[in-house]
Structure 1
Amino acid sequence: MDLDRAFSPATHINLNIRGMRQSATVAINDLSKQMLKDGHEVFKLGLGQSPFPVPEIMTQALQENAFQKDYLMVKGLPALRQSIVDYYERTQGLDYNPDHVLVGPGTKELMFILQLTYYGDLVIPAPSWVSYAPQARIIGRKLHWLPTAIETGLGVTPDELEKLCQTDPDLPRLMILNYPGNPTGMTYSEDQLKEIAEVAKKYRVLILSDEIYGGVTFSGNHVSIARFYPEGTIISNGISKWAGAGGWRLGAFVFPESLSWLPEPMTSVASETFTSTSAPIQFAAIKAYEQSAEMDSYLEHCREILAALCTDAWRQLTAIGVELAEPKGGFYLFPNFEPLRTAIEAKGITSSMQMCERLLAETGVACLPGSVFGRPDNEFSARIACVDFDGAEALKAVARGNPVDQAFLEIYCYPVVEATRRICQWLTQDDA
C-alpha cells in the first residue's frame, strides 16, 4: 500500500477544516512573543488579554481549593451556578434556575457546542470576533454577515436584521450579539436593545448575548438584552475579561425556562468532550460572581483606566482623520483608515493584512487586520487592543489616589499611548 497516498491530507482532512489557519488572535500573540524573544521592540496590541491581575479574593480562593481533584457535575458546581443566577438577579433583575446554567472551560467551547446542537443559520455583524465564523464553518452552518455602519458603532441594527429575516421568515437563526464589542468597543443603548429584541422576537431569532466584557462597560451600567427578550436569549459570560482570568478558562451560559430543552443536549455533548471544568477554578470563580467590596472596587478602577486609555487612543486617531466609533467598553478600537487610503496606497499596500504586516515591521506595533473580523480584504481597517501595559501597577496607582489623567496614562499605560502615536506618525509621514 502507498502509505503517503493513503494518509494524504487532501483525502483525510474534513472538508470544512481544510485550509483553516490558527486563530488570528492566537497567531499574532505567538508572533509577538517570538519577535520579543529575538530582540525586537514590539507593542502587543493584537491579543485581547486583560492587562489586569486576577482579583486577590479569587486567587486566594483558588489556593484554598487547590486540593479539589474530583470530577464535578458536567453542568458545573452547584454553588457556582447559584452564584451566577444570583449575579443576574442582582445586576439585571432576571430570574433564572441554576439547573439551566452550563459551565464550561471558556465560553468559546460552549459557543461551539451551541452551534453544534442548535440547528440554525448563524447571524453576526461585520465586523465580529474572529472565532464565531470559523466555528460555523467547522460545523457546517450557513453564515450571514449583517452590514454595519460607523454611525451605529458597527453593531447590529434592527433594520438589517429585519431585511435578512424577511428573506425567509421561518428559517431557524442564531444571532450572536456581543457587547461591549470585540473588535469595536461599542455597546448598545436600552432603546437599541429594545428595537433589536422586537425584531428577533417577531422572527423567533435565538440570541446568544455574548456579555463577556459586560463588567468593563465604561459607564458601569451594562444592560442585557435578556431584559427585553428573555424567552429567546441565552447569556454568555465568563471570568476571562472583566476578572482578568483568561488562562483560567471558565465560562458559563445561562438559559431561560423557555429554552430549558437546550441545555440538556448541550450537556450531553459536553460530557463526551470536556467532561467537566477544572474543579479548583470553579470554586474560585464563585468569588467573581458574589457581591463584595473587593470586586466592586476592582471593577470600578479597571473601568476608569480602560475608559481613559481607549478614549485617548480614539482622540489621537480621529485627530488625523481616521474613521472610528467612540469606544464604550472593553479593550478595543476598530479604526477604519479609508480616509487615508491615498497615503497608505503610496506605501505600496493593497490590503489590511499587508497594512498590519508593514505596521509591525516598521513601527513594532502588532494589531489585527480588519479582514479577519469579516471586513473586505481591500478595506484598510484593523483592531487595536489597548492592553499592553502593567495593569497591576496601574491599579495600585489608582488605589493610592492618583488621578487617571494624561500624565497617568504616560506613566502607567505608556506602551499603548506610544503605540498609538507610532500608528499616527506612520500613517501621516511622507514616504517620498
Structure 2
Amino acid sequence: MEHLIHSRVKNIEISGIRKFFNMVADRPNLVSLTIGQPDFPTPEHVKEAGKAAIDNNFTTYTHNAGLAEVRQAACQFVREKYGLDYDEQEVIVTIGASQAIDIAFRTILEEGVEVILPGPVYPGYEPIIRMCGATPVYVDTRHNGFRLSAALIEPYITERTRCIVLPYPSNPTGVTLSEQELLELVRLLKDKPIWILSDEIYSELVYADRHRSIAAWLRNQTIVINGLSKSHSMTGWRIGFLFAPEFLTKHMLKVHQYSVSCASSVSQKAALAALTDGKNDADNMRKQYKARMEYAYERLVSMGLGIEKPTGAFYLFPSIHSFGLSSFDFALDLVDKAGVAVVPGSAFSSYGEGYVRLSYAYSFETLKEGLDRMEKYIQQKR
C-alpha cells in the first residue's frame, strides 16, 4: 500500500535538527547544545492562568481565529513593541508558529510558483513549500553576513516569484536585519505582486535595539508570524500568531479551521496572561541569553572558528571548513570523541554545509562543559 502515499510526502524528510538529535540522544554523558528549547520555566503567572482555565472548566472550543480578548491583546502587544497596527480581524491564534507558516503557505502558494529563501535557513519552510507544489529558491547569504539583502534578492525575482521569506532574527545564524536593510527591501518589493512571509518568532530576543518588522512599511504585502514559544518559554503550550491584512486572513482562516478548528482554549488563557501582565517577561531572559552569547561567542573565537556574531535569537553558527569534514561527519565525530552534540549545518540547506549550529538556550554550566569539551577536541584535531 505504500505506493499509494502522496509522492511529495514521501520525498520530504524529517528535520535534520531532530534527526541528528534523535540519533545521538541516548549517548551516555552527552552534553547537548542542539535544540532551541528555552531552559527557563514558563512564568508562574502564565501557568496559573492555564490552571485556572482548567479549574473553571474552560475546556471547550473557541472562535476559530481564537478568543477575541487574546487577539486584541496580541494586536496591542505588537503595536506597543514594534509599532505594527492590526485589529482582531487581522490575527489568527495558531498552534505554534509552525502551524501559522503552514496555513500561510497553503493559502498563497500553488503549483509552479516560487518562494525565495535565504540560505542557510530553518528547515521548516521547504517541505511545506514543496507540498504546495511550489519551488523553493535559495539565495546564498554566506558572503553577506547571512543577511538576505535587496541586492541579493533582485536577480532571483521572476514572474513566478510568489513569496519571499524573511526569517529574522535568524535560526540558525542569530543575525537580524537593520532598519536600513529593511528599507532597501521595501524599495525593491513595494507594489510588486509578491508576498513577504516575515517569521518573527524570535522578535523579543534582539540584543542591540528593538526588533523591526518589514510590515511597518509593507503592511498589505506582509504576513507576520510570531508566537510565545521563545519569548515566554512556552514551547509546549503551542501558541502562535499570524498577522496579515483582513482580505488575506479571512482566507487563511478557512485553512486553519479545516486543519485544527482552533488553538487550545487552556493555552489561550495562558497566552492572555503572557501578552498582558507578562508582556515584558522576555526582558530578563533576553539579558541572560545575551550574557551566554557573549561568553560562547568569545570561546568559539578563541578556538579559531570563524563566526558571525549573533544579534538575536539564541544560536551560534561557527564555520568548521578548516577541518576538511562534512558538517554531519564533524558533528558525529564531536559526539563520539568529545561527548558534545551540535547540529550539522547541512540541516539548514546545502548553504549550511561547512558550519554547525550551537544553541545557547542552556545554563552557563552546560555551556562551559560543552565548550570545554569542544575546545579539547579542536586542539586535538589540529
TM-score (norm. length: structure 2):
0.93
- Which of residues 201, 216, 236 is equivalent to 1:212? 201
From the superposition, tell whether residues 124 and 33 of structure 1 become closer, same or farther in structure 2 (CA, over 3 Å).
Answer: same
Aligned to 1:239: 228
Match of 2:154 among 155, 162, 165: 162
- The amino acid that maps onto 2:135 is K
Give the aligned length. Answer: 377
1:72 equivalenced with 2:62 (yes/no): yes
Q: How far apart are the structure 2 equivalents of 1:153 and 1:246?
A: 29
Q: What is the Cα deviation at residue 32 of structure 1?
A: 4.6
Is 2:171 aligned against 1:182? yes
Superposed CA offset, 1:17-54 (max 9, x none): 2243322233344345433xxxx111221111111111
| Alignment map for 1:250-329 (pairs within 5 Å) | 250-256=239-245, 260-290=246-276, 292=277, 295-296=279-280, 298-329=281-312
Correspondence 1:374 to 2:349: yes
Distance (whole Å) between structure 1 residues aligned to residue 141 and residue 43 of structure 2: 36
Deviations 1:310-348 (A, max 9, x none): 12211121223322110111110111122x2xxx23xxx
Q: Which residue of 1 aligns with 2:33?
A: 45
- Per the alignment, residue 366 of structure 2 pairs with 415
1:186–1:327 Cα contact (<8 Å) kept: yes
Conserved 8 A contact 2:24-2:335: no
Contact 2:119-2:142 within 8 A present in 1 as well: no
AA paired with 1:417?
A: K
Unmatched tracts of structure 1, length 5 or more? 1-6, 390-412
Given residue 224 of structure 2, which amino acid in structure 1 is its aligned partner? I
Letter in 1 for 2:22: D
After superposition, what is the alpha-carbon deviation per residue over 1:333-365, rounded to whole angstroms, capped at 9, x for unaligned?
A: 111122x2xxx23xxx3x211111111121121
1:359 aligns with one of 298, 322, 334: 334
Tell whether the 8 Å contact from 2:142 to 2:351 is kept in structure 1 after alignment.
no
Deviations 1:116-136 (A, max 9, x none): 111242211001101111221
Query: Quick check: which has more Rg, 1 or 2?
Result: 1
**SS of 1:17 mapped into structure 2:** helix
Residues 1:13 and 2:1 are matched in the alignment: no
Q: Report the residue type matching 2:32 in the other structure.
A: K
Match of 1:85 in 2: 75
TM-score (norm 1): 0.83
Q: After alignment, is 421-430 or 324-333 more displaced?
A: 421-430
- 1:421–1:183 CA distance, 2 compared to 1 (3 A): same
Q: Tell whether the 8 Å contact from 2:345 to 2:354 is kept in structure 1 after alignment.
A: yes
What's the counterpart of residue 424 of structure 1? Answer: 375
Q: Is the 8 A contact 2:307 2:319 kept in 1?
A: yes
**1:386 and 2:376 correspond:** no
Give CA-to-partner distance per residue, 1:114-155, whole Å, 9 cap, x none: 1111124221100110111122122221110011135x4302
Identity %: 28
Counterparts of 1:380 and 1:45, CA distance in 2:
18
**Separation in structure 1 between the aligned mates of residue 373 and residue 380 of structure 2, nearest angstrom:** 10
